[in-house]
A and B are shown apart, each in its own frame.
Chain A
Amino acid sequence: MTTNTTPDVNALRAICVELRADIIEMLCLAGSGHPGGSLSAVEILVALFWGPLRHDPKNPGWPDRDRVVLSKGHGCPALYAVLARHGYFPREELWRLRKTGAMLQGHPVRSFTPGIEANTGALGQGLSVAQGMALAARLDGSARRTHCICGDGELQEGSVWEAAMSAGKYRLDNLTAIIDFNKGQIDGHVAEVMPLDPLDKKFAAFGWHVITVDGHDLAALATAYAEAAATKGKPTVIIADTVKGKGVSFMEGLIKWHGVTPTREEADRAIAEIRAAGAAA
């Protein structure tokens, strides 16, 4: 997809810059957490939360809201930064991430944090939970849509494929899975640890509509979400090609930064770099 230079996408790009800076700052202050998979998911979340998602931060319990399940729960700094910017809770909470008694837990917890739909952190469960939400929406006759964000390593869990199979069986066209295809996990590269190829064919064989997209291209993601909503009779999976650690040169593509947080000096360097790249764009 060619770069779309409408003001809209430019505004979203500026938001991505701010979110990435927030993520780095949060993780630096927390002293633990997962930068790589938080940074890779920024555009996926922005294109959704500043795009088709129907939600009301003032009324997080609105029954007909669209649902977002972050199945790769360790990526929650990205979601927290998004929720804060939408006013689900005060921004100051970001700086208390992972502290004793904090609203923002190391992995998402519904009862602690407004805007969190399901408790995750054990990989491989979110897609089933999202499927349950999608089935309930159908029973309720509600137009609400359910989105589930999974890691690529996470797809190694057998339970993901049980969910893929049943969502295919039930033709859950109100369900969209987004794969943060960043090619890294903890012990190494996904292709070495446990290869997933051909991922698109696997999902297609399970009865899903498959979209492959540049996961950092906001316009392409917007088109993908629209295509998912328009697809009838099948669930849709958006395989978002991303870079783990996106936006910070010394983190990009490096397995090491999965679960290591930046020092103050590294964080300052990262934030300066993120802002400079944003200004230049």
Chain B
Amino acid sequence: MSATATRDAFGKALAALGEKHPEIVVLDADLAKSTKSELFAKAFPSRFFEMGIAEANMVATAAGLALSGKIPFACSFACFLTGQFAEIRIALAYSEANVRLVGTHAGVAIGEDGHSQMGLEDVALMRTLPGMTVLQPCDDIETARMMEFLVAHRGPAYLRLTRQKLERVHAENHRFMWGKLDTLRPGRDVAILTSGSPAKAALDAAEMLRDDGLSVCVVNAPTVKPMDAEGLEAIARQCGRIVTVEDHTVMGGLGGAVCETLAERFPVPVKRLGVQDIFGQSGDPDELTALYGLDARSIADATRALCQEKTPV
């Protein structure tokens, strides 16, 4: 199985797309080596703007570039982009500026740097902005397809990427469909819905649960906003129980979006896995992933427990 960090897939795709699309410009805030925008910077130095450690300025500058017909990709760690929410809210989203915000270092899986560098609230914050598309790829194939989509798409968008390598779960010819859920494995008894990094762990959990006689459906949500309400309702009707998994706070992210959508359309029991109402911390990425309940075993345990709960009347 090939494994690639989605930030690497992004950097490669960005540099390749830069060739075909002269209106693409890229901004970074002293993290080009980490976000991988560096590849574009090397290939197209005149269309790359190194803004220094000044994310607010970067975000609003990107808005100005977008309002002047460019397609800006503004890159930093997810947590430092959301740090500039005032600019994202007005200069960017409210102005309907065609900016692509690219937030890397999503989740506790960044490991040793600890909470201050972890993107843990970015999906929740971005989701609250009208017109903002929120995308999160789960492997390199999906990242590449999303990048093609993002160049053509109109309106502000947020792309959430990982520092760590993710095992590929899609075929080379996979098609990304904006606003649509993506079933990775069919099943009847319970659905595990993931976005971004936990896809492979969810598939492994489904495999473990075969021994329990459970038929587990695994669904990937590459678009967290707009949420595929019809697709979600269909899954809820079919499986009756849903576990959401994300390396992000359980509040307002994928789990939040799923609960909000189903509460109004077709309520079913939902278990939200992710970072509960606590901060991140330093540690080995795999140890933290297990500690925060995002490894295959934790997902399997939580899914089994949800299936054993009595269905509420």
Which residues of A approach B to under 8 Å, CB–CB?
30-33, 73, 98-102, 105-107, 109, 119-124, 153-154, 156-159, 185-188, 193-194
User: Are A185 and B112 interface neighbours, CB within 8 A?
Assistant: no
Name the contact of A107 in the complex, choosing from B33, B54, B56, B113 (C-beta under 8 A). Answer: B113
Rounded to whole angstroms, the CA-CA distance of A33 and B32 in the bound complex is 18
Whether A153 contacts B117 in the complex (CB less than 8 A), given A33-B112, A102-B282, A122-B79, comes out as: no
Interface residues on B, range: 20 to 34
Rounded to whole angstroms, the CA-CA distance of A238 and B101 in the bound complex is 36
User: Are B282 and A106 interface neighbours, CB within 8 A?
Assistant: yes
A-B contact pairs, 6 of them (CB 8 A): A102-B283, A122-B83, A156-B52, A157-B53, A187-B31, A187-B33
Q: Which residue of B lies closest to A193 (CB)?
A: B52
- 1/0 contact trace for B115-143 toward A, CB 8 Å? 11100000000000000000000000000
User: Are A31 and B112 interface neighbours, CB within 8 A?
Assistant: yes
User: Are B117 and A121 interface neighbours, CB within 8 A?
Assistant: yes
Which residues of the other chain, A, contact B284 by a CB distance below 8 angstroms? 99-100
User: Are B50 and A122 interface neighbours, CB within 8 A?
Assistant: no
User: Are A106 and B113 interface neighbours, CB within 8 A?
Assistant: yes
User: Are B116 and A107 interface neighbours, CB within 8 A?
Assistant: yes
User: Are A194 and B282 interface neighbours, CB within 8 A?
Assistant: no
Q: Which residue of B lies closest to A33 (CB)?
A: B112
Task: Kindly name the residue among B54, B80, B115, B117 whose own CB sees the greatest number of chain A CB atoms within 10 A.
Answer: B54
Rounded to whole angstroms, the CA-CA distance of A195 and B261 in the bound complex is 48
User: Are B114 and A109 interface neighbours, CB within 8 A?
Assistant: yes
Whether A153 contacts B53 in the complex (CB less than 8 A), given A109-B114, A186-B33, comes out as: yes
CB of B131 to closest CB in A, whole Å: 26
User: Are A187 and B30 interface neighbours, CB within 8 A?
Assistant: yes
State the main secondary structure of chain A at its contact with B: loop
Whether A109 contacts B30 in the complex (CB less than 8 A), given A193-B50, A193-B52, comes out as: no
Which residues of the other chain, B, contact A101 by a CB distance below 8 angstroms? 281, 283
Which residues of the other chain, B, contact A157 by a CB distance below 8 angstroms? 53-55
Rounded to whole angstroms, the CA-CA distance of A54 and B283 in the bound complex is 33
Q: For window 33-63 of chain B, which residues contact chain A by CB distance below 8 Å? A: 33-34, 38, 50-57
Q: Which residue of A lies closest to B288 (CB)?
A: A100
Which residues of the other chain, A, contact B57 by a CB distance below 8 angstroms? 158
User: Are A186 and B291 interface neighbours, CB within 8 A?
Assistant: no
CB of A16 to closest CB in B, whole Å: 26
Rounded to whole angstroms, the CA-CA distance of A124 and B291 in the bound complex is 31
User: Are B112 and A73 interface neighbours, CB within 8 A?
Assistant: no
Give the top 6 A-B pairs by smallest Cβ distance, nearest first. A121-B116, A194-B52, A100-B283, A156-B52, A106-B114, A98-B112
- 1/0 contact trace for B85-112 toward A, CB 8 Å? 0000000000000000000000000011
Which residues of the other chain, A, contact B111 by a CB distance below 8 angstroms? 32
CB of B111 to closest CB in A, whole Å: 8
Q: Which residue of A lies closest to B34 (CB)?
A: A186
